[in-house]
Each structure stands twice: as structure tokens, then as C-alpha cells.
Structure 1
Amino acid sequence: MDKKPTTLVILNGKGAGNEALREAIFTLRKEGYPIEVRVTWEHGDGERYVAEAVKHQVETVIAGGGDGTINEIATALAGHEAHQRPVLGIIPLGTANDFATSAGIPQEMENALRLAMVGKATAIDLANVNHTHYFINMATGGFGTRITTETPARLKSALGGVSYFIHGLMRMDTLKADSCELRGPDFSWQGDALVIGIGNGRQAGGGQRLCPFALINDGKLDLSIVTAKEIVPTLLNSMIGGDDDNPNIIRASLPWLEITTPHEMTFNLDGEPLSGTSFRIEVIPKALSCRLPPSCELLA
């Protein structure tokens, strides 16, 4: 019998005690799949574990956690040469799991693990910000970013993704637009933006479909700018899958985008905040291989 390739599962420490995942790993090990497990505890662990996987020629590295964990592992993988780089697998263990939800990753642990280990590997894009940071799902700025970074951890634990929306309603008194200028190939816009979404994936903030047409293998990023004062109806429509042709939302699809602001603005890159007054965001086509469902809506 041919020896099965080794898989390295990297778990965010918060999800390390998931009993369903533990049972799924035991089940697949009994079937002959070599699976190693590592748990992150502090900043830099993910990068170190990915380097270990590359050194030992592991075929698949699985990110077990939320969007931040997936981004951390994807960023670490992107730092290695293509011929050395393991395939990325995903197990959703976070609060919102926006990228995994958009991609159609199973919520049931054994199904997610099997897909992550033996599913078809597909080349996907990654996004680079200011040549120093990456995101695999979405960069968000404006009111939405302030809400996701301020939402209490206890509220997220209790209510999951909807906690961002509830906290947003509680903080409507802080609602204000950010003055900014955006430009890209054949695109230019200047004005006051309530929310900006730059999507490789389609949703962020616990289910807000800011970029409902984004694809992760088309070599482009989808831009959505919410300019309306009526942000509550806009967010409600996005939560329940409402009209995607909202006249208060400006959309574009671009390989790169530059953003300048007169005052410091913060973008949330899959959970990692990045502040500044100037941002250059560009797509890196086919940067990684990722195991995704055959019916994944994010694939062109």
C-alpha cells in the first residue's frame, strides 16, 4: 500500500479543545493518514510551524481557526518558494468564519478535515498591502472596521458573527464617514465613505456580504464603497441576502488599488488592523494552492 502524505494541522489555541475535531483526527489516523498537530500560543507560532512543514516536505498545512488564523498561515505559506509550498487546507473554528463560509467549507469537523486533506488543490489569489501585509479574504475600512475591532470578546463568544451587527447598532452614535481618495486602473473616486470593502472573498464582519461578486482566482479584487447615510438598511439587506444593486454602494473590480486619506484610517486585514494615510493594495494571482469544495462559489 502506498504511504499517504503527511498533513500538519495548525490550530488556534482557542479551538484546540474541540472534541469533534479531535475525534475526526483520530478517525483519519486509523484510516492510515499521518496527521501532526500544532497549537499556536503566541505571535509567530504559525510562521514557525509552516517553516517546519516546509522543512519536512509536508504536503498539506491545515489552518484551524477563524479568518485571522487562516490569514496568518496563508501569509506564512506565501513567504516560501512555490516548489516548496504545501497546499493550504481550512477548518472553520473561529467566531465568524467569513472566508470558510463564503468558500463553502463544511462546518462538520470530519467533513472539513477530509476536504482539507484530500480535496482538489486549486490555485487561489492573495492580496498584498503596502508590500508588508497580506489578506486572503477581505480588507475593510471605515465604520465596519471600528465595530469589528471594538466588539467585546464575550459578545462574540455568545452570539458569533451576528455580534458585530448588534454591537454596530449599539454604536450608531459614532457613525461618521472617512474622507478618502481611491484610484486604480480606469477607476477614480473621491468622497466620504462609511464603509470600504476590498474583497478577495465575499463577506466580512460576521456575514456582511460587502463584495458579493468576488472570486478568489480571477486575478482581481472587488471594491465596494458604502456612501449612504442609511447604513442600517444596507447592513440588514446584506445580512438577509438582499438587493446587491444598492445605489448607495460603488463597486469596481481591479488588480490594484491605491487609497489616500487626509487623516489616519484603519483597515482590518482578516482581523489584523493596519493604520495609515496611504495604502497600496494589489492582488497576487495564483499565490497559493488551497483545497476547496468542487461547488465553491468563489472560483471562477
Structure 2
Amino acid sequence: MRARVIYNPVSGREQITKYLVAILRILEEAGYETSTYETTPEPRSAAKEATRAALEGFELIVAAGGDGTVSEVINGISNLPKRPLIGIIPAGTTNDLARSLKIPRGDLLEAAKVIAKGQAIPMDVGKANDKYFVNIAAGGYLSDITYGIPPRLKGAFGYLAYLIKGAEKLLLVKPIKMRIEHEAGVFVGEASMYFVALTKSVGGIENIDPYMLMGNGLFTLFIIKTASIFEILQILGMIIQNGKHITHPKVEYIHTSFVTAESLDQQPLLLNLDGEFGGTGPVTFRNLHQHIRILGNTTDYASPAELNNHTAKLLKEIANLEK
């Protein structure tokens, strides 16, 4: 079997290059004939290489870098009829997908050992118009936090840079009149932002949907129906503390296989896809059920038996949470 390691040399304060030989040794001992590709500043460098490697028949593509590198690799293979396994060596600031898949984030060699172990997890992929995402899409205010920070600041301050930028943006939040359609109906009204999630971890917070089952064919849709700083902070606090944000009166919480979103006033809905800018216009999200397989270290995903029981369990747990 052949593996292609696509790595970002500047991720993780340039730690990947330091450990690259040891990572290759771990993969080769697991039976992979392994080669590497170093990404460049050229747009979509990782995506283009992922497409090329997949078309050449590589059985495994490893994305070594931050969430942006992972997202590019997934975009590079998601439109292909035959898609290789994906491995992740997380070396970014938040590493949300790795966090959800229980891939070690502080030790690159331990992450490589997870790939060598070979536990393939079937993952849904979101398609937003003609682009793909595997963790989260967000629209409205605060959606530009992750791509609005210069890489140099992220490298120097890490997660603190996101907190500082978020605090700064909260002061600018205003309501936007939106129209958002989903399986359960249509929302038309003022909101500050919406989220379309495929995993539980967003921006380093691991409890965005306490009842999500990865790979079940459904997005978790949140609509934040307030622009009040106090209410937004209250909702964030509930996410971090106990997951009861899903019952907050200013939060719409829905599971759906599709979402359409558009602004009904002059304020554009800036779109964030896995931490990268995704455009401003109206968008349609479709869930591509178990479209790819990613090597991880968790059992928290949808097997056929879990799919059958998940809806009833979800309704019961939410009812208990509302008491």
C-alpha cells in the first residue's frame, strides 16, 4: 500500500519537519510505502496534491498540519468517485477534527501511531455549493475569526489569538435578517449567526452538540437568534459548562440533511468552511453521508445499529435536559 504525506512545513511552529522522518518510519512499519509532499504558498497547494495522489491510486493520504491543511486535502478528494483513506497529523492551533476523532494533538508521533493502528471511521462530508467541509460551516458575525487572524499571530499566541479576536468582534455584532431552510421548516428573522456542524468540536470547544453522532447523515444546525453581547456570552457559557445551550430560547437546534441560507438585507452572510473563507452569497448545504473514511481513535460514530437507536435516544435526552 502507498501513502502520501502532505505536510505544511510552517504548522505547529515548524515541528512537523523536525519529526517527519520518525513519522515516515511509523507508517512504513505499518506496511505503507510512504512519500511526502511539502505544501507551498500557491493557492490550494494541498488540495491539488491530494487530487493528484488519489488519481494515482494512493491508498492513504495523510494531512499533516492545521485544520486548513486537513480541509484542503478533503476538498481535493471529495469530488472523486474513488477516495483514499485519510490520516491526520494535527499540528495547528485548534485541530477541531482531530479533537473529535480523539487523535493526540500534543504528540505528532502518537498521532502517527493512530494512523498505523488503522481504525477507519466513516465520516459525513458537507457540500456548500461547490466546496466541501468536514467539521463546521458558519455564517454571519464571528464567522471570520479563524481566517481573520494573520498566521504570524496564530503562531506566536496560539489559541489566545482567537480569544482576543473574538472579544474584539463581539463588540461589532449586529442582527442580520436571514432566511434559513431545513428539513423541519423555515426560519425567517433576525439572527447574528448560524452554524452547520458535522462534529462536536468547534473552535476548541468540545460540547457544541452533546448528542451528535458523527456519520449519521445529518448536520446539526444552530441559529443564534440574538445580537446581544450578554445573551451570546450566556450561550457560550452554557456550551462550555453543561450543553444546555440547545434549550436556550434564543437558539434554534435542528438536525437536518440539508440547509439553505441567505441574507434578506444588505448585510452579507460571510461564510466560514472549516476555518477558511467560503464566500458571501446564498448557500446550500448538502450532507454526503459517510462520504470518506478517516483514521481515528474513537467509537463515537454511526454504526448501523447506532443509527437505528440514535433518534429515540436523542429525543429522550433532550427532554431530560429541558427539565
Q: TM-score, normalised by structure 1?
A: 0.87
Check if 1:129 corresponds to 2:128.
yes
- Whole-angstrom CA distance in 1 between matches of 2:153 and 2:123: 33
Alignment of 1:266-281 (within 5 A): 266-281=270-285
Shift of 1:71: 1.3
Amino acid at match of 2:271: F
Q: Is 1:201–1:298's contact at 8 Å kept on the other side of the alignment?
A: no
> Take 1:206 and 1:123, find their aligned partners in 2: how far apart are those partners?
22
Task: Flag as ranges the 4+ runs of structure 1 deviating above 6 A.
Answer: none
> Given that residues 212 and 244 in structure 1 are in contact (C-alpha distance below 8 angstroms), is that contact kept between their aligned partners in structure 2?
no
SS of 1:150 mapped into structure 2: coil
Measured after TM superposition, the shift of residue 242 of structure 1 is 5.1
**8 Å Cα contact 2:4-2:60 kept in structure 1:** yes
Distance 1:225 1:184 in 2: 11
Q: Deviations over 1:124-161 (max 9, x none)?
A: 2111112x111111001222213333334344223323
Query: 1:15-46: per-residue Cα shift (whole Å, max 9, x none)?
Result: 36422444333455467642211111022322
> Which is strand-richer, 1 or 2?
1
Aligned equivalents of 2:300, 2:124: Cα separation in 1:
14
Greater helix proportion = 2
**Stretch of structure 1 that moved more, 205-214 or 140-149:** 205-214
**Please, what TM-score do these two structures have when normalized by structure 2?**
0.81
Structure 2 residue runs without a partner (length 5+): 307-323
Deviations 1:251-291 (A, max 9, x none): 00001011121232111001221233411111011211211
Aligned to 1:12: 8
User: Displacement of 1:120 after TM fit?
Assistant: 1.9
Residue of structure 1 aligned with 2:199, choices 198, 201, 208: 201
Please list, as runs of the form range in 1=range in 2, the aligned pairs for 1:54-69 lying within 5 A after superposition.
54-69=54-69
Bigger CA drift: 178-187 or 204-213? 204-213
- Match among 225, 241, 261 for residue 263 of structure 2: 261
Residue range with higher mean Cα deviation, 178-187 or 21-30: 21-30
Aligned AA (2:290) = K
Gaps of 5+ in 1: none
Query: What residue in structure 1 maps to residue 176 of structure 2?
Result: 178
1:106-121 equivalent positions in 2, closer than 5 A: 106-107=104-105, 108-121=107-120
1:251 correspondence with 2:253: yes
Question: Percent of pairs identical after alignment?
Answer: 25
Q: 2:154 aligns with which of 156, 159, 163?
A: 156
| Distance in structure 1 (CA, Å) of the matches to 2:50 and 2:225 | 40
Aligned length: 293
Structure-2 separation of matches of 1:11 and 1:209: 29
Take 2:213 and 2:255, find their aligned partners in 1: how far apart are those partners?
10
Note the aligned Cα RMSD (angstroms): 2.4
The alpha-carbon distance between structure 1 residues 285 and 169, as it changes in their structure 2 partners (threshold 3 A), is same
Residue 77 (1) aligns with residue 73 (2): no
CA pair 10-231 structure 1, distance change in 2 beyond 3 A? same
CA distance in 1, matches of 2:290, 2:66: 22
Q: 1:220 to 1:30 in 2, by over 3 A?
A: closer
TM-superposition CA deviations, 1:71-103 (whole Å, max 9, x none): 111111112222xx2111111111111111122
Structure-2 change in CA distance of 1:298 and 1:106 (3 Å)? farther
Query: Do the aligned partners of 1:179 and 1:191 also contact (CA within 8 Å) in 2?
Result: yes
The more displaced of 272-281 and 235-244 is: 235-244
Once residues 162 and 55 of structure 1 are traced to their aligned partners in structure 2, the CA distance between those partners, rounded to angstroms, is 39
159-168 or 186-195, which deviates more: 159-168
Change (3 A) 1:35 1:11: same
